[in-house]
Chains A and B, each alone.
Chain A
Amino acid sequence: DAKTTQPNSMESNEEEPVHLPCNHSTISGTDYIHWYRQLPSQGPEYVIHGLTSNVNNRMASLAIAEDRKSSTLILHRATLRDAAVYYCILRWANFGNEKLTFGTGTRLTIIP
C-alpha cells in the first residue's frame, strides 16, 4: 500500500475552518484517497473519499492536488464534536480485500 504522511496533531478554534493536510507522493493512478475519523471511545467513521476531482459532502470537503501527491480535508466550521483523530488512507480500487490501512493520523483538538 502507498504511504501517507500526516501531522501528528493540529489545533483549531471552534467555528473556524480547519484544513487537514495529507501527503501521498507515491500514490498510484488507481488509488482512491479516503478520510476516516475516530472520535474518542468510538469506532472509525467514514468522512469522504475521492480520486481526482475535489469532493464535497455534508461533513467535509476534499481538495486533491492536480498531481494527486497531496490532499486536504476541509472542515468548514469546526465544532467541539469534530475533535477526533483523522486518518488519510489510500486504497486501491480492486475487487478483493477491502482492507483499510490506517496510519497514526492527525489528532485534531478544537479550542472553545
Chain B
Amino acid sequence: EAQVTQNPRYLITVTGKKLTVTCSQNMNHEYMSWYRQDPGLGLRQIYYSMNVEVTDKGDVPEGYKVSRKEKRNFPLILESPSPNQTSLYFCASRDLAGGSNEQFFGPGTRLTVL
C-alpha cells in the first residue's frame, strides 16, 4: 500500500531533550516536506526537500533540522525542544517526475514538550 508513515505517533518529552521524528514514504517520491499544525494557524511548512541531499527552509524552520540521506526518509530533528514546539506534525511527499499534483500526508505526530 502506498503510504507515508511517521513515528512516533505520540510523544511527550521535556525541554532540551533531543528528539527525532521519522518520516518514510514507499512511493519513490522526490519531494518531501514537514508541516506543523496549530489551532487557528493552520498548517505551516517547516522544511522541504526536492530530492536526496537537497533541503531548504519553509516558513517556520527555527528550532528544527532535517536531513535527506535516502530518498524514502526525511527525519525531523529537534535538537533542543521547547514548549512552543508542542504541536501536531505532518510529513508529506509528492511525485515530481510523474506529473501528479497529489501530495500524500502521513498520519501525524502529536508532540508535547513540557
Say yes or no: B90 contacts A44, CB within 8 Å. yes
Q: Which residues of A contact B92 (CB under 8 A)?
A: 43-44, 100
Q: Which residues of B contact A46 (CB under 8 A)?
A: 101-104
Query: CB-CB contacts of A56-74 with B at 8 A, as 1s and 0s?
Result: 0000000000000000000
Within the complex, the shortest CB–CB distance from B101 to chain A, in Å, comes to: 5
> In the complex, what residue of chain A is closest to B100 when comparing beta carbons?
A46
Interface membership of B81, Cβ < 8 A: no
> In the complex, what residue of chain A is closest to B32 when comparing beta carbons?
A98
Within the complex, the shortest CB–CB distance from B112 to chain A, in Å, comes to: 16
Number of interface residues of A (CB under 8 A): 20
17 A-B contacts, Cβ less than 8 Å apart?
A42-B108, A43-B107, A43-B108, A44-B90, A44-B92, A45-B105, A46-B101, A95-B96, A97-B56, A97-B58, A98-B103, A99-B48, A99-B59, A100-B45, A100-B92, A102-B43, A105-B42
Interface membership of B106, Cβ < 8 A: yes
Interface membership of A17, Cβ < 8 A: no
Say yes or no: A49 contacts B101, CB within 8 Å. yes
Query: CB-CB contacts of A26-50 with B at 8 A, as 1s and 0s?
Result: 0000001010100001111110010
With A42-B108, A49-B101: A98-B42 Cβ-Cβ less than 8 Å: no
What's the Cα separation between A97 and B35 when bound, in Å?
13
Within the complex, the shortest CB–CB distance from A95 to chain B, in Å, comes to: 8
> In the complex, what residue of chain A is closest to B106 when comparing beta carbons?
A43
What's the Cα separation between A45 and B2 when bound, in Å?
13
What's the Cα separation between A109 and B107 when bound, in Å?
21
Query: CB-CB contacts of A8-40 with B at 8 A, as 1s and 0s?
Result: 000000000000000000000000101010000
With A44-B90, A103-B42: A98-B33 Cβ-Cβ less than 8 Å: yes
Q: Which residues of A contact B96 (CB under 8 A)?
A: 95, 98
Say yes or no: B31 contacts A98, CB within 8 Å. yes
What's the Cα separation between A42 and B110 when bound, in Å?
11
Pick from B31, B102, B107: contact of A42, CB under 8 Å: B107
What's the Cα separation between A49 and B101 when bound, in Å?
8
